[in-house]
């Protein structure tokens, strides 16, 4: 039984296909759902938490179908993407009400709301009306309501959107702690480094389809043929460029002042070669960085450069 | 931020009755903080204001005035208008505000989410209207001449409350059945119920208003030349009226719950 799964699930709204025969299955502690705006991330999450019904195919959460499944709803927490609340309520009251609907009594709900607000760093703001909270605080409040009842699975739609860098770091740390305590998380984002900071397990979506699934390294294996770019600064950029172009794997070299960017089909060999040249001291190489070392490059390549993957 | 693991404790899911009550309380909690509640309160003060004005100017024959107020103001305006506005709002507000997502992500049956809110609307409108009717009755009864009796008050209260509940069900049904329910609701309220109930012949029998008025002992009325040319349906018996109103009201509520529980959230 996988924690998150879909079997040829499709969801369309009129003539718009939001999710298109999408299949995946995973039980990793944190699954990052990655894709550009309009990729179908939010629709997939809504299908998984039972807010939407599949047009065809099926989805599963903890091995159960989520639509109108109240037993399952008791075990999951959902943080929606949109920034909507009962604005006139106090932050703690908002979480308390939602806890009550999980079957906790008034005292238990109050305790859990206070704990949840503390976990997201809003403990001092529980009495403030939601209307008066900043965007980042409201984002934290959404996470608080999702985790207050102690769910086994958290489904978080763009939970880091609108948070400042410190807030992002704190929330990422919180998500890691939750995963370490046995909670499974499905986190969507279109910002790659956010997901990269909390998980290596990625589901890549575009136009309602899965482009790739697996660990970051495995996704990268898919793109062996993709030219990697390596940037360096050198005292002798032109001479360095000429030296690099002698090798067959080097496809192109760009020179911009002291900066040299090389495109290669064999990044590991190229790195090694540049290291040797640097240590020989012939070209005064001062810095070296792989431009494709983060998920951004993988994502860009998969989405834009391999239309065959988009079906 | 705290770092302890989330606490999971075995617990019983809330029963539908408990969850429905919580939904109703939540709805009222949210509604009480809204500005429109103040406006509705002011609107509800209008009949009392009219009664005070009548008492201060003419002020005789309280029975006739009370019946006119019950039929013309409460039944034909407030009992239609308030359920129309609030019944639809109970359904559409949370969909359009997207706060319904939070409720549907809880271990509560979908029909209970809607049912709790609709029940809260029905009870709130009925209570407010009943208070209004009692106040108007008190003013009418204080006037010299033939005043309304206690039996008339109880009948009026029953009819007004029944009207509020049945119409709330009807407009909630429109709220869940249509994405933009206001136009069909206005046509239904003031076209179908308002106009058809005053048409000659058997047309009024197609309206709920006919059965509500029948409970007050009133039938459709024609006047002048029209009264000579057309026949009007006599009032239905109380038993038949109650039977029709409960049946139709029950169908409205059941249909609203069924449709509402199958509806998805707009993306």
**Most B CBs within 10 Å: which of A39, A55, A101, as the mutation test of the B interface?**
A101
Q: Is A138 helix (H, G, I), strand (E, B) or coil?
A: helix
C-alpha distances out from residue B155 to A4, B8, B133, B152, Å: 58, 53, 11, 5
A&B contacts, CB < 8 Å: 112
Contact A182, A28 (CB under 8 A): no
Is CATH 3.30.70.920 the classification given to domain A227-291? yes
Closest CA to A154 of A10, A60, A31: A31
Element (H, E) at A233: strand A228-234
Phi, psi of A153 (to 5 degrees): -130, 135
Element (H, E) at B62: helix B62-68
Q: What is the CATH number of domain A4-223?
A: 3.40.50.300
Contact B105 A73 (CB under 8 A): yes
Contact A152 B29 (CB under 8 A): no
- Give the single-character DSSP code of A19: E
Contact A236, A262 (CB under 8 A): no
Beta strands in A27-75 (DSSP E): 30-34, 56-61
Query: What number is the ipTM of this complex?
Result: 0.81
CATH 3.30.70.920 domain span(s) along chain A = 227-291
Report the pLDDT value the prediction gives residue B266, as an integer from 0 to 100: 54
What is the 3-state secondary structure of A87-107?
A: CCCEHHHHHHHHHHCCCCCHH
Contact A68 B109 (CB under 8 A): yes
Q: Does residue A304 register a pLDDT over 80?
A: no
pLDDT in tens, A223-262: 555 677 888 888 888 988 988 998 888 888 999 999 999 9
pLDDT in tens, A109-134: 999 999 999 999 999 998 999 999 99
CA–CA distance, A86 with B86 (Å, rounded to integer): 17
CATH 3.40.50.300 domain span(s) along chain A = 4-223
What pTM, to 2 d.p., does this model score?
A: 0.80
C-alpha distances out from residue A156 to A41, A235, A237, Å: 11, 48, 47
Confidence band for A222, pLDDT divided at 50, 70 and 90 = low
pLDDT in tens, A150-201: 999 999 999 988 788 788 889 999 999 999 999 999 999 877 778 888 888 9
CA distance A62 to chain B (A): 15
Across the interface, of B1, B22, B105, the residue whose CB is closest to A121 is B1
Closest CA to A222 of A297, A165, A125, A144: A297
Chain B residue with Cα closest to A103: B14
Helices (H) and strands (E) in chain B, counts: 12, 0
Q: What is the pLDDT along chain B (267 residues), one digit of tens a residue?
A: 544 444 566 678 889 999 999 999 999 999 888 888 899 999 999 999 999 999 888 777 788 899 999 998 999 899 999 999 888 888 888 888 888 999 999 999 999 999 999 999 999 999 999 999 999 999 998 888 777 889 999 999 999 999 999 999 999 999 988 888 899 999 988 888 888 877 777 788 889 999 999 998 876 665 555 555 556 678 889 999 999 999 999 999 999 999 988 888 654
Considering chain A, what percentage of its residues have pLDDT values greater than 90?
52
Inform me whether the C-beta atom of residue B33 falls under 8 Å from chain A C-beta atoms.
Answer: yes
CA distance B1 to chain A (A): 5
**Most A CBs within 10 Å: which of B4, B6, B35, as the mutation test of the A interface?**
B6
């Amino acid at each position: 039984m996988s924690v998150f799964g879909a079997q040829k699930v499709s969801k369309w709204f009129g003539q718009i296909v939001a999710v298109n025969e999408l299949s995946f299955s995973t039980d990793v502690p944190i699954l990052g759902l990655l894709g550009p705006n309009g990729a179908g991330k939010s629709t997939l999450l809504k299908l998984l938490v039972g807010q939407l019904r599949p047009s065809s195919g099926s989805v599963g959460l903890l091995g159960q179908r989520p639509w109108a499944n109240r037993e399952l709803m008791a075990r999951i927490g959902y943080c929606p993407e949109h920034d909507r609340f009962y604005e006139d309520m106090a932050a703690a009251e908002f979480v308390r009400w939602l806890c009550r609907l999980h079957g906790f009594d008034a005292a238990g709900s109050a305790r859990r709301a206070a704990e949840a607000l503390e976990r997201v760093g809003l403990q001092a703001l529980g009495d403030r009306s939601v209307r008066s909270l900043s965007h980042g605080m409201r984002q934290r409040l959404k996470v608080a309501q999702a985790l207050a009842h102690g769910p086994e699975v958290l489904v978080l739609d763009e939970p880091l959107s609108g948070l400042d860098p410190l807030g992002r770091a704190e929330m990422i740390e919180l998500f890691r702690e939750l995963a370490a305590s046995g909670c499974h998380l499905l986190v969507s984002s279109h910002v790659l480094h956010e997901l990269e900071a909390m998980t290596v397990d990625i589901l890549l979506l575009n136009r309602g389809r899965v482009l790739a699934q697996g660990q970051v390294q495995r996704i990268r294996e898919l793109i062996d043929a993709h030219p990697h770019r390596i940037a360096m600064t050198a005292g002798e950029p032109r001479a360095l460029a000429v030296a690099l172009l002698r090798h067959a794997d080097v496809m192109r070299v760009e020179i911009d002042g002291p900066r040299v960017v090389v495109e290669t089909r064999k990044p590991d060999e190229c790195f090694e070669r540049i290291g040797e040249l640097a240590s020989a001291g012939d070209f005064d190489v001062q810095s070296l960085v792989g431009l494709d070392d983060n998920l951004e490059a993988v994502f860009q390549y998969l989405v834009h450069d391999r239309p065959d993957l988009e079906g | 931020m705290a770092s302890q693991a989330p606490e999971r404790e075995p617990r019983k899911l809330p029963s539908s009755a408990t969850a429905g009550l919580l939904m109703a309380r939540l709805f009222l909690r949210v509604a009480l903080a809204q500005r429109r509640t103040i406006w509705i309160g002011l609107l509800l003060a209008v009949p009392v204001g009219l009664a005070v004005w009548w008492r201060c100017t003419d002020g005789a024959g309280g029975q006739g005035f009370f019946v006119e107020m019950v039929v013309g103001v409460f039944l034909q305006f407030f009992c239609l208008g308030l359920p129309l506005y609030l019944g639809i709002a109970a359904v559409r507000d949370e969909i359009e505000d997207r706060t319904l997502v939070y409720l549907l992500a809880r271990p509560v049956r979908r029909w209970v989410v809607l049912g709790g809110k609709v029940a809260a609307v029905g009870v709130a409108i009925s209570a407010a209207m009943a208070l209004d009717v009692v106040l108007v009755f008190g003013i009418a009864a204080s006037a010299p001449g033939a005043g309304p009796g206690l039996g008339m008050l109880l009948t009026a209260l029953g009819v007004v409350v029944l009207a509020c509940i049945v119409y709330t069900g009807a407009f909630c049904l429109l709220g869940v059945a249509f994405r933009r329910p206001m136009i069909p609701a206005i046509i239904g309220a003031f076209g179908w119920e308002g106009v058809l109930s005053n048409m000659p012949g058997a047309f009024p029998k197609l309206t709920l208003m006919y059965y509500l008025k029948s409970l007050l002992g009133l039938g459709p009325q024609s006047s002048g030349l029209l009264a000579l040319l057309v026949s009007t349906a006599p009032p239905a018996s109380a038993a038949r009226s109650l039977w029709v109103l409960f049946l139709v009201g029950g169908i409205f509520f059941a249909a609203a719950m069924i449709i509402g529980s199958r509806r998805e959230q707009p993306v």
